[in-house]
């Protein structure tokens, strides 16, 4: 019998590997990250009253979450590249649980900020892992769609959960992602390469660069020059350590940098319109915030669900054509929103922006790893997502500036 088993294994390429993670589990692993961005939107008043502070101070938790996912994405992607899926799932789950507990128990803003940041670090790790395990356009489309759909429904879901339970429960929604962890662990492949030596200086430079970039829309005179200086130092670091925290193979790849730039631009347009939408609808249609929130579900849900199909179909279209279509859509959306006062056209612009951003995240994530050595694919995904997530800091700031 042993001889028969060995013969069968030889015919089929050796011992069977881990089972493929089902697509719904990947969507569940990634999607709840968007709750951390959008679920607090309609519960900030409750949160501010509970903390005994103003709404602006209470919103610091959302800013901290944005910083955490931007920083956690490259950090956890580096861990993924060096230690494999199981290690990242363990660390990310611990961070999400610890951050959620701190959020739920917090009674002061500093504890709230710390909890949101820790929760975001873990959420970023789970999302990067889901994208790493999404080994086809269809599966990547499902992951991107889950992020967009959850983001679209997040404000309404957060408000309903706060009404039924508490504002703490609304802030705990990203914890839902850990439900998908056991299935991801069962399908986790072993680490693909021998880990490269760790680069603590490179990691510190990336962390400082992310922090400066996130602060740039709020403190441009200080954070802007700091961002440029840190970027130059990071470029120098890639020459000293080509296999460091930022691999030179990525930093010198024109295709990779172009993909990241396009994803960032599409994200900026989408988040700027998302935050400008209530004011535009109030100005042109006289709608209050609640009515606008309900109506806006339609364009952003359409964009989220539609992106899943478009990402899957993108493999049959030349890459240049896909990139051109995304660029046209991302340019048309803000121009249409600025040029019209008709509500249907405003909603069409928002649908177009949502569709372009969500589709771009999925399609361009697949392109970001094209031609990248296997040893750097996890870092490529992490840095690509970092570029996209930085748009969360810039889009709303641009919307507020233009509305003044």
Residue 262's pLDDT band, with cuts at 50, 70 and 90, is very high
- 75/70 Cα distance (integer angstroms): 9
For residue 329, the tally of other CB atoms under 10 A from its CB is 18
pLDDT at 12: 41
Q: Tell me the C-alpha to C-alpha distance, in Å, between residue 111 and each of 45, 69, 107, 226, 297.
A: 18, 18, 7, 27, 32
Q: Is the predicted pLDDT of residue 14 greater than 50, yes or no?
A: no
Fold of the domain built from segment(s) 19-199+241-403: Growth Hormone; Chain: A; (1.20.1250)
In this predicted structure, the answer to whether residue 95 has a pLDDT above a threshold of 90 is yes
Confidence band for 400, pLDDT divided at 50, 70 and 90? low
DSSP 122-175: HHHHHHHHHHHH--SHHHHHHHHHHHHHHHHHHHHHHHHHHHHT-HHHHHTGGG
Asked if 270 and 329 count as a contact pair (C-beta separation under 8 A), the reply is: no
Banded model confidence at residue 127, pLDDT cuts 50, 70, 90: very high
| Residue-level pLDDT at 117 | 92
Residue 197 has pLDDT above 80, yes or no: no
Q: Which residue has the higher pLDDT, 375 or 240?
A: 240
Residues in the chain: 404
Spans of all domains in the chain:
19-199+241-403, 200-240
> pLDDT at position 327, please?
93
Q: Is 2's pLDDT higher than 60?
A: no
Q: Provide the pLDDT for residue 10.
A: 41
Name the average pLDDT for the chain.
82
Mean pLDDT throughout 108-133? 90
Q: How confident is the model at residue 57 (pLDDT cuts 50, 70, 90)?
A: low
């Amino acid at each position: 019998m042993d001889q028969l088993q060995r013969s069968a294994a030889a015919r089929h390429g050796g011992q069977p590997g881990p089972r493929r993670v089902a697509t719904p589990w990947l969507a569940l692993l990634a999607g709840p990250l968007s709750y951390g961005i959008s679920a607090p939107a309609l519960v900030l008043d409750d949160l501010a009253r509970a903390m005994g502070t103003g709404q602006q101070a209470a919103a610091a938790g959302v800013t901290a979450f944005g910083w955490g996912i931007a920083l956690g994405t490259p950090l956890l992607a580096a861990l993924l590249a060096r230690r494999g899926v199981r290690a990242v799932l363990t660390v990310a789950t611990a961070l999400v649980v610890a951050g959620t507990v701190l959020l739920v128990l917090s009674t002061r803003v500093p504890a709230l900020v710390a909890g949101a940041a820790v929760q975001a670090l873990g959420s970023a790790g789970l999302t990067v892992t889901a994208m790493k395990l999404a080994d086809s356009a269809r599966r990547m489309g499902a992951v991107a769609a889950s992020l967009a759909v959850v983001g679209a429904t997040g404000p309404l879901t957060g408000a309903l959960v706060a009404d039924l339970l508490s504002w703490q429960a609304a802030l705990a929604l990203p914890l839902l992602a850990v439900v998908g962890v056991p299935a991801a662990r069962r399908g986790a492949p072993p680490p693909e390469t021998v880990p490269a030596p760790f680069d603590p200086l490179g990691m510190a430079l990336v962390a400082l660069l992310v922090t400066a970039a996130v602060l740039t829309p709020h403190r441009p005179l200080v954070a802007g020059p700091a961002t440029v200086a840190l970027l130059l130092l990071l470029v120098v670091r890639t020459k000293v350590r080509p296999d460091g925290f930022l691999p030179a193979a990525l930093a010198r790849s024109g295709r990779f940098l172009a993909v990241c730039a396009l994803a960032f631009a599409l994200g900026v347009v989408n988040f700027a319109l998302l935050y400008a939408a209530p004011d535009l609808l109030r100005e042109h249609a006289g709608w209050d915030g609640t009515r606008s929130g309900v109506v806006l579900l339609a364009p952003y849900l359409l964009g989220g669900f539609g992106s899943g199909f478009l990402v899957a179909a993108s493999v049959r279209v030349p890459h240049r054509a896909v990139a051109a279509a995304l660029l046209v859509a991302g340019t048309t959306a803000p121009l249409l929103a600025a040029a019209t006062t008709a509500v249907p056209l405003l909603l069409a612009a928002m649908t177009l922006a949502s569709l372009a951003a969500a589709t771009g995240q999925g399609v361009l994530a697949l392109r970001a790893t094209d031609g990248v050595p296997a040893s750097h694919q996890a870092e490529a995904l992490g840095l690509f997502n970092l570029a996209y997530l930085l748009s969360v800091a810039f889009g709303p700031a641009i919307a507020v500036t233009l509305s003044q």
